[in-house]
Amino acid sequence: MKQYKLMGTLAFGATLALTLGGCAANTGDNGDGNGDAPTGVDAADYNPQSRDNLQEGGTVNFPINEIPEQLNAFNSDASADTARVAAWYMPQILLMEPDGTPYKNDAYLDEWDYEVVDGKTQITFTFTDEAHWNDGTDMDWTAIDATWKANRSYDEGYNPNATDGYKEIESVEQGDTAKTAIVTFKSEFAWPQMPFLTGVIHPAINTPELFNEAFVNELNPAWGAGPYTVEEFDSNSDYVSFKPNPEWWGNAPLLDSVTFQGMDAAASINAFKNGEIDAVATASKDRLEQVKDMEDVVTYRAQQSANTLLQVDADKPQFEDVNVRKAFFLAVDREQQQQIAWNGLGYTEEPAGSFTLFSFQPGYSDALAEAGWEHDVDEANALLDEAGWEVGEDGIREKDGEKLTVTYPIFSDSPVNEALAKALQAQEKEVGIDVQIDVRSSQDFSADYTSKNWDIVSLRFSSSDPFGAAWFCQIYCTDSGLNLSATGTPEIDERIKSEVESITDPEEQTAAAMKLEAEIFAETWGIIPLYNGPEIWTAKAGLANLTPEPYVGLDLFGVQPVENVGWEK
């Protein structure tokens, strides 16, 4: 999957597109919206329970935004909802701890190892003897081969979500037996965990036509494998249910039935209150208010693997001077922004200091703080004085007859967005920068953002996997689609290539990326993280091991076995 997906504008509740895109005990919060979430890796909050603590049987009913038209999770037309559905009836050969550490699923794999052989990274997959597809086909090296061929290129007719990782592979071959696949990369590759993390496809899906079209409004459970299989599916009513799979060979699924019903936000909160579904997203003050008096429910709060950012456009004359850009960012009170964004949510987090890693990941450091950022109005004023911008009679700075006025569009009329924008406006006025708020339609966001119809802008994106250093260029290279601050340079591009991408050891590459990120912040002052923000769900008491699917978030980057979702004894 691509690492970064745009989610929308400033307030995390006003997202425009969903991402496709680690353990701790429950916080004990009862859903009243007043508890503080833990921080760091302990911010995972999904009621993790061992199977011994859970009962056999029962049903869980979940809401979902929609049952998408494209139901092949590897296809570029798929969405986060596609991945949620697929997790319940497609193989999860690799799993992830909440902090993003991957590990093999023992039901599928006897071996998952990687090493360097003759200067090339090599992965060995050995499937268990029992592993097979629902149609009886053995699960073996052909699954690895088919998955690689479908995802390695956009030039062969396939329409993969992304080719990252797969395109670095030179060959997939059978090992000593058909159960073993040998994957050889073109050279040493720092992130061999990346490909196949989202699973494998049935070897029968061996043409672009099948890959692109066979899963349009179809689930094809015969090409699936896992503890559950499809029981009922109705694309017209956005409904799917799963039942225990008689072909499954691993730990028995705990539930008798799992359902997903497509519904919008208003419908889902009402369905939860009426007992029609067993969990619902409650990441707003209003939604928390609606569930706070309910009995036998628990509200869970976790840090999202997402970033809200603020950036300026150095192509605009007001921001050509790096000292003006730095002054603008030093005037931003991130703590006040967070308090407004999270008002009533009962959530706190460590300050966001990086676009490369999150605070709960190994190797993280606060690159923004290391670059010298802090909320400092006096220093901001001194920088603007030095840059020749003088304070006018109205308190707004001027230079060469021009006011230091900048346009800040917000693409929502929500009260939270308005409050965030007005707070930023007041913060910048303290240093003599005039921020003009321009409320626009959410439908204008993509066009206005990409055409740079703004002087300053805030948006939100999520990370689809934990391998942050692998995607460093997507944020900081001159051709980045996320960082349109015009502060990238050919010199920075070359440093990314020589100082980060050339390193083949993942820990060393990550350390190099964190170091360079701090230096880029300090040199360019074009973009900063504001906060990560919460994932908040309210569920019926006793529902355990929530959000086992990728990209949902109560378990951070975690991907858990779906057979372990169930009700406490």
Residues 322 and 362 in one domain: yes
Residues 520 and 540 in one domain: no
551 lies in a domain? yes
Residues 295 and 317 in one domain: no
352 lies in a domain? no
Residues 116 and 241 in one domain: yes
Q: What gap in Å lies between CA 338 and CA 346, rounded to an integer?
A: 12
CB 223 within 8 A of CB 230: no
**What are residue 536's DSSP bridge partners?**
301
Residues 298 and 312 in one domain: no
Return the pLDDT at 42: 58
Nearest by Cα to 510 from 470, 477, 483:
470
Q: What is the dihedral of CA 13, 18, 24, 30, to 10 degrees?
A: 40
Residues 47 and 127 in one domain: yes
| Mean pLDDT score, 276-294 | 96
Exposure string over 537-560, b if 16+ CB within 10 A, otherwise e: bbbbebbbbbbbbbbbbbbbbbbb
The beta-strand segments (E) located in 477-561 are 527-531, 534-540, 543-544
Q: Output the CA–CA distances (angstroms, integers) from residue 226 to 126, 175, 363, in the order listed.
A: 17, 24, 34
Q: What is the pLDDT of residues 526-555, one digit of tens each?
A: 999 999 999 999 999 999 999 999 877 899
- What is the three-class DSSP state of 218? coil
Q: Is residue 205 pLDDT above 90, yes or no?
A: yes
Q: What gap in Å lies between CA 344 and CA 428, rounded to an integer?
A: 25
User: Which of the four pLDDT bands, split at 50, 70 and 90, describes residue 34?
Assistant: very low
Residues 201 and 271 in one domain: yes
Tally Cβ neighbours within 10 Å of residue 44.
28
Residues 553 and 458 in one domain: no
208 lies in a domain? yes
| CATH code at position 417 | 3.10.105.10
36 lies in a domain? no
Residue-number span of the structural domain to which 406 is assigned = 306-334+357-441+453-469+486-526
Residues 457 and 548 in one domain: no
Q: How, if at all, do strands 102-104 and 94-96 pair?
A: antiparallel
| CATH code at position 142 | 3.40.190.10
User: Which of the four pLDDT bands, split at 50, 70 and 90, describes residue 38?
Assistant: very low
What's the token pair of residue 65?
A: 């935004």
Concatenated DSSP letters of 264-300: -HHHHHHHHHTTS-SEEE--SHHHHHHHTT-SSEEEE
Residues 206 and 94 in one domain: yes
Residues 365 and 265 in one domain: no
Q: What is the pLDDT of residues 68-102, one digit of tens each?
A: 999 999 999 998 899 999 999 999 999 999 999 99
505 lies in a domain? yes
Q: Is residue 16 pLDDT above 50, yes or no?
A: no
Residues 185 and 318 in one domain: no
Q: Which residues contact 155 (CB under 8 A, 6 or more apart)?
A: none
What total of structural domains would you count in the chain?
Answer: 2
Q: What are phi and psi of 43, to 5 degrees?
A: -75, -10
